[in-house]
Amino acid sequence: MRQFILFKLLLISAIAFSQTATIKGKIENPEEQAIKFIYTNDIITSQPKHEMVVSNLKDGTFSATISTEEPSLIYFSHGSKVAQIYVKPNDNLELTFNTKDFFNTLNVKQDNGKENQLLTELTSTFSEKTTDIYSVQQTLYLKDSMGLAEFAAKERQLVKEQLEFIQKRAKKLKLADSFTNLLKAEINYGSINNLYQIGMKKRVQPDDKAFSFMEEVSLTDNKSLKSFSYHLAVKFYFQYDFYNQKTGNNIEIDKWFLNNMYDKGSKKLTGEIKEVFIASTAYTVISNNWDFLIDSIAPKYFKEAKNEEYLNLVKPIYDAYITEKNKPLPDGANKIEGEYNNIEELLAQYKGKVVYIDVWASWCGPCKREMPYSIQLQEKLKGEDVVFLFVAVNDKPENWKAAVKQLGITGEHYFGDQNFSAAFMKKFEIRGIPRYLIADKTGAIVNTNAPRPSHEGVADTLKELLK
């Protein structure tokens, strides 16, 4: 599976950039010896398209040649300072600022166009209000001094003013609609995404009027197609709709919300917006190895997808996933198929036998050190009605399978997905692994902190339950 991981990394990063832009500049009073340039996230993979770090600045001066296939908004960061610049293929930009007075000294000179003039004007004009909003947001996270509705009203008013400013200055500077639409979408939908995530973190009920800003998400905004923030807002819209329809839900992540989100988005969206939505959702599910969702979403995606470019991103990682999934475990190791909501459902198939449960993960050193003793214990109890059940938690399928094979672990094996792992560990207050449990012949857990396989008395403990 190492090849699968490498392939995914290459797939994300190896976008064919055929053109470049040069950014040179001078930082007065540098906070550190580096400046970083980061593209906005790709609309399908949700990963930065490209990034570059320029280190070892000499007297605050720097020079960077960055890859760019199309005009893009790029973030740059230096210490605590962050702002955006607009970069086009073959651009030569000069970026200067003083960290002691960042907003008022930020300046970007470009050979062709005035997009960066608008960006610096926007930053300078709204610096005080933006700083104030950020301060209020931090207070909102840490205390309950302000409700989400009140904070949302303040931020949305600021966004309204920013959008009006952009429209007015873009017209005066005669800037292209493609740039203006992208910038407005990033600010508008970026704000909505921020507010939604605040509400989720604060456990605000989805039917609360505080979430009224979600109604501002347009499902037909073709002017914002190039904006990652727009496509993320569309996803949040359907997630919000899902929770809003579930009476009594307290915004705890339901493992099926992505499936529900996919189905609703597929029906309501059209054209390019739909293509991005279904492709990015499928990519997220597959790249995270969410087995319980891949079998449901992937077939639907491949049946209805039309955009070849997006299909060429999703299909290879799906094929690699299927190849790895179909690889058998080593002889003597039985993979338990199917999905189980809890340990009780999993244990039901072993009634009439005592079950020794080993909670482990491939990354856990102490877990792996116990495996030789576990194999010895199985040999010692051979012929007895004792089942050795290995439950992998918080692991990756490829790493789990490799460890089972490497360690030669025989017995019953179940790979717990994220939802199963979280619920299982919460129920039995498992804060560290390895952890061992024992179920009696009725399927009831009778010991939630059983001896390890290396403990000499564990065999007698299991035999006692056979009587």
Per the listing, tokens 């579930």 go with 246
Question: What pLDDT score does 305 carry?
Answer: 97
Give me the pLDDT at residue 69, please. 81
Cα distances from 207 to residues 144, 241, 242, 309, 395, in angstroms, run 19, 9, 11, 38, 35
Which residues partner with 74 through β-bridges?
39, 85
The CA dihedral of 260, 264, 270, 273, to the nearest 10 degrees, is -50
Confirm whether pTM is higher than 0.95: no
Query: Which residues face 252 on adjacent strands?
Result: none
The answer to whether 336 and 412 have CB atoms below 8 angstroms apart is yes
pLDDT of residue 207: 61
pLDDT at residue 12, as a whole number = 41
- Cα torsion 248, 250, 254, 259: sign: positive
d(CA 254, CA 83): 36
Nearest to 41 by CA among 263, 284, 237, 264: 284
Residue type for 297, please?
Answer: I
Region of 22 (left: φ > 0; alpha: ψ -120 to 50; beta: rest) is beta
The CATH class, in words, for 333-464 is alpha beta
Domain with CATH 2.60.40.1120 in the chain: 15-116
Both tokens of 439, joined, read 């179920």
Q: Cα(213)–Cα(10) distance, rounded to whole angstroms?
A: 38
Strands 435-439 and 411-415, by their bridges, are unpaired
CA distances from 69 to 15, 50, 165 (A): 9, 11, 29
The predicted pLDDT at position 387 comes to 94
What is the DSSP secondary-structure string of 289-309?
T-HHHHHHHHHHHHHH---HH
CATH 3.40.30.10 residue ranges of the chain are: 333-464
Low-confidence ranges of the chain (pLDDT < 50): 1-17, 247-254
Beta-ladder partners of 76:
37, 83
- 276, 274, 258: which is closest to 266 by C-alpha? 274
Sign of CA pseudo-dihedral 313, 178, 229, 306: negative
How far apart CA 465 and CA 460 sit, in angstroms, is 9
Output the six-digit token pair for 336.
């338990």
The Cα 45–Cα 161 span in angstroms is 32
H helix or E strand, kind and range, residue 418: helix 418-427
CATH domain 15-116 topology: Immunoglobulin-like (2.60.40)
Per DSSP, what are the bridge partners of residue 108? Answer: 95
List phi, psi (to 5°) of 412: -95, 135
Distance from C-alpha of 282 to C-alpha of 336, rounded to nearest angstrom? 25
Task: Give the pLDDT confidence score for residue 325 in this predicted structure.
Answer: 73
Contact 149, 211 (CB under 8 A): no
The whole-number pLDDT of residue 258 equals 83
